Amino acid sequence: MASDAARAVGVDIGGTGIKAGIVDLDKGELVSDRVKVATPAGAHPPDVLAAVREVLSTLGVADDQSVPLGVAFPAIVKNGRTLSAANVSDEWIDFAAEKFFEDGLGRDIHFANDADVAGVAEVRYGAAKDRPGLTILTTLGTGIGSALLYNGVLVPNSELGHVQRARHGKDAEAYAAYSAMERHNLSWEQWAKRLQWYYSHIEFLFSPDLFVVGGGVSKHADHFLPLLDIKTPIVPAVHRNNAGIIGAAALARG
């Protein structure tokens, strides 16, 4: 059992669900159940705050300030402000989100982009650990999140899910996210063709040394990763859909 000093709480806010857990920071593992609630319809700030309070109460840490708290959010995060709004209310654009959560929860938090914290989880405890050069983590879910990790150091707010498809004028995530597969009832092979375009394009732009693929669908990596023809090694994330919780908790301790 981890000591209190080696524990933190991670909250991962997404477009469809809000997940939380208590993390052993020595091992990078959950030491509690993973608690999840649906993201409130519209994802307006007061409703999201209430949902975060709910998951913290369920974990029994709502009033325990001795355990650090990290919160991951699907937006560009700079100096505590959310500068974008991916799959959440536009009210989050240029919003003092970190202060909003700290005031609403009555405690200090560490607040960061959701894909960036997933990258932190994988570089500290997972598939990108001790990997030299440039690793690009992508999370395939409601959208496509990304984290750039160079020699283990995070370059924040890369937002590579929003590169444009010239032919169709849409973001990459509208075309190639896991939600697009579900929305258009695509087979693994059909979806892999969309992913082929995406990863080939990112490979051309950045010449990475490793791709790590996260998000819940990464548990089915054997259905689609072998169908991709790229030069860069590409592997599933070790922590899959828990990476946001683990990374947020890890950043909370520093």
pLDDT tens string 28-76:
999 999 999 999 999 999 999 999 999 999 999 988 888 999 999 999 9
pLDDT in tens, 97-109: 999 999 999 999 9
Per the DSSP assignment, residues forming a β-bridge with 82 are: 77, 95
Give the per-residue pLDDT at 72.
Answer: 96
Q: Which pTM was predicted? A: 0.90
Radius of gyration of the chain measured on its C-alpha atoms: 17
Q: What is the overall mean pLDDT for the chain?
A: 94
3-state secondary structure of 196: helix
Give the per-residue pLDDT at 241.
Answer: 81
The answer to whether residue 165 scores a pLDDT higher than 90 is no
Give the per-residue pLDDT at 122.
Answer: 96
pLDDT in tens, 170-185: 889 999 999 999 999 9
Backbone angles phi, psi at 221, to 5 degrees: -55, -30
The answer to whether residue 225 scores a pLDDT higher than 70 is yes
Tell me the mean pLDDT in the region 127-131. 96
pLDDT in tens, 2-19: 556 699 999 999 888 999
**Termini Cα distance of the chain:** 21
pLDDT in tens, 73-91: 999 999 999 999 877 999 9
Reported in sequence order, the residue ranges of 6-52 that DSSP labels E, i.e. its strands, are: 7-13, 17-24, 29-30, 35-38
Give the per-residue pLDDT at 20.
Answer: 98
Sign of the Cα torsion 111, 112, 114, 117 reads: negative
Distances in Å between the Cα of 197 and the Cα atoms of 64, 92, 193, 229 are 47, 31, 7, 10
The CA distance from 154 to 185, in Å, is 35
Write a three-state SS string for 144-184. EEEEEEECCEEECCCCHHHCEECCCCEEHHHHHCHHHHHHC
